[in-house]
Amino acid sequence: MTSEHAPRVAMLSVHTSPLDQPGTGDAGGMNVYVLELSKALAARGARVEIFTRATSSDLPETVVVPGTDAHGRTLTRDESRAVLLADDVDAGIVPPVLVHHVPAGPFERLDKNDLPGVLCGMAAGVLRSEAARRPGWYDVVHSHYWLSGQVGQIAADRWEVPLVHTSHTLARVKNASLAPGDEPEPGGRVLGEEEVVAAADALVASTPVEARELVDLYGADPSRVHVVEPGVDLDRFAPVPDADRRAAREALGLPADRGVVLFAGRVQALKAPDVLVRALGVLRATGRPVPLLVVLGGPSGRSTAVRELQALAAVTGVADDVVVRPPADRDSLVRWYHAADVVAMPSRSESFGLVAAEAQASGVPVVAAAVGGLRTIVDDGVSGRLVRGHDPAVWADVLADVLADEAVRSAYGEAARRSAERFGWSAAADQVLKVYGVAAEARRSR
């Protein structure tokens, strides 16, 4: 990476597109992370191109996320092209971000366990992109998730540029906290993660906990591990007056006089929404008020996951207390946060927990499992509650306590916003740019 221009970044998100709707399939917080980080890097003059696997023949080859000129005007297609091809970007210009859909394997959503078989095709497609430009076009490869890291190794070696990698989740961590009956991550993934960790010039961890896991479980060189907390869109996710919260409930068809617990995420064993359903069953069996549980998400891993959750609610006696809604776009998600009394995250493993950060930024208390990055986001007893383990009886007690005390919820909500204000995509982009520089030095020294 040279000092003459802002970096040109090849951002790899192989198994899921940052343009996909979070909350279903394999789309989640990582999708938001990749797109928002890319936009924040562009705001600092970087030219960012995201490569993801094409899952439909109807997808355009390239999608342009528009940039702006020095006056905030959206760039035209010709202006975007000129900015992307220029050696330098004029002050005040925010370059566009490109999302390339690379054909690799069949045009369908393959299971993640099948994706290693198409990585050669993915790598070839990424390399062809640089072949259409001048040599030395990209300055750094930044891969996300181990599948992207496999492709990233090839691209970084071919282009002789540093490889920066963000894991997002780690197989050994997930396998240590599996839900009963859940399938462990395959050994091939563990081997693949080990290869990427060894090859990367820099590793970006979202929390100190994840940084320790990379060192302790994967033998990462501590000098190559850098903690960069992800950001939150603090303008979009912000508190509102009580009148607006009541209006949000009315608009969403939620009861005004009943506690509302929101779960926003993929319906899968890892995210553990079943714990919340069972907790509602405990509350009903013990004669305590039962809140309405809103599950905002779609199936992941198994197409029957939502139906299985609804069946669990029926046999637990709380079918009428559980409402499942499809995943919401970013603007709609804000309204759901505002309508909730509590956002619950009973995940068995979380490298960060973007939903918790967004909810807190919106002034909503979070009740979360005391795992992974959630321990960094939620300040127990201050901005929300951390629950050890996944015993439904314990979750029932904590939810009942928080829902019963409006003054406590209000205090948690105010503290939650203050806590969330330390997260911002601008700060994350500044730190990532520094990591790119350190990675370039590491590459040269190697």
Q: What is the dihedral of CA 270, 148, 61, 230, to 10 degrees?
A: 60
The CA–CA distances, whole Å, from 246 to 259, 334, 336 equal: 12, 14, 11
116 annotated ligand-binding residue: no
Buried b (16+ CB within 10 A) or exposed e, 392-416: beebbbbbbebbeeeeebeebbebb
Q: What is the pLDDT of residue 182?
A: 84
101 is in an annotated binding site: no
pLDDT tens-place string over residues 342-352: 999 999 999 88
Task: Dump pLDDT digits (tens) for 134-164.
Answer: 778 899 999 999 999 999 999 999 999 999 9
Share of the chain above pLDDT 70, in %: 98
To the question of whether residue 29 is assigned a binding role by annotation, the answer is yes
- In percent, the amount of the chain with pLDDT more than 90 equals 76
145 among the known binding-site residues? yes
Rounded to two decimals, the pTM is: 0.89
Band the pLDDT of 5: cuts 50, 70, 90: low
DSSP state at residue 221: -
Tell me the mean pLDDT in the region 189-205.
Answer: 97
Residue 21 among known ligand-binding residues: yes
pLDDT, averaged across the chain: 92
According to the model, what pLDDT value does residue 410 have?
95
Mean pLDDT of 117-128: 94
Q: Assess whether pLDDT exceeds 60 at residue 167.
A: yes
> Do the annotations mark residue 189 as ligand-binding?
yes
Q: Is 340 annotated as a binding residue?
A: yes
pLDDT band at 23, cuts 50/70/90?
A: low
Q: Which residues of 112-150 are buried (b: 16+ CB within 10 A; e: fewer)?
A: beebeebbeebbebbeebbeeeeeebbbbbbbbbbbbbb
Q: 24 falls in which pLDDT band (50, 70, 90)? A: low
Mean of the pLDDT values across residues 256-262?
A: 95
Q: Which of 82-86, 189-193, 271-275 has the lowest mean pLDDT?
A: 82-86
Single out the residue of 315, 312, 359 nearest to residue 333, CA to CA.
Answer: 359
Q: Which helix (H) or strand (E) holds 299?
A: none
Q: 314: how many CB neighbours lie within 10 A of its CB?
A: 13
Q: For residue 30, say whether it is annotated as part of any ligand binding site.
A: yes
Question: For residues 116 and 151, is the Cβ–Cβ distance under 8 A?
Answer: no
22 appears as a binding residue in the annotation:
yes
Q: Which domains does the chain have, with CATH numbers?
A: 8-231+424-445 (3.40.50.2000), 242-420 (3.40.50.2000)
State residue 326's pLDDT score: 92
pLDDT for res 136: 84
| 26 belongs to an annotated ligand binding site | yes
Q: What is the pLDDT of residue 157?
A: 95
Query: How many helices (DSSP H) and strands (DSSP E) are in the chain?
Result: 16, 14
Which pLDDT belongs to residue 3?
Answer: 38
Least confident of 47-56, 103-112, 172-181: 103-112
Look up residue 149 and give its amino acid: G
Phi, psi of 128, rounded to the nearest 5 degrees: -60, -30
- Give the pLDDT confidence score for residue 129 in this predicted structure: 84
Structure tokens at 280: 């509602």
Contacts of 234 (CB under 8 A, 6+ apart): 361, 420, 421, 423, 424
Q: Is 338 annotated as a binding residue?
A: yes
DSSP string, 373-433: THHHH--BTTTEEEE-S--HHHHHHHHHHHHH-HHHHHHHHHHHHHHHTT--HHHHHHHHH
Q: Which residues contact 96 (CB under 8 A, 6 or more apart)?
A: 42, 64, 65, 66, 67, 75, 80, 83, 84
> Are the C-beta atoms of 218 and 197 separated by less than 8 Å?
yes
Q: How far apart are CA 34 and CA 415, in angstroms?
A: 28
15 carries a ligand binding annotation: yes
pLDDT value of residue 432:
98
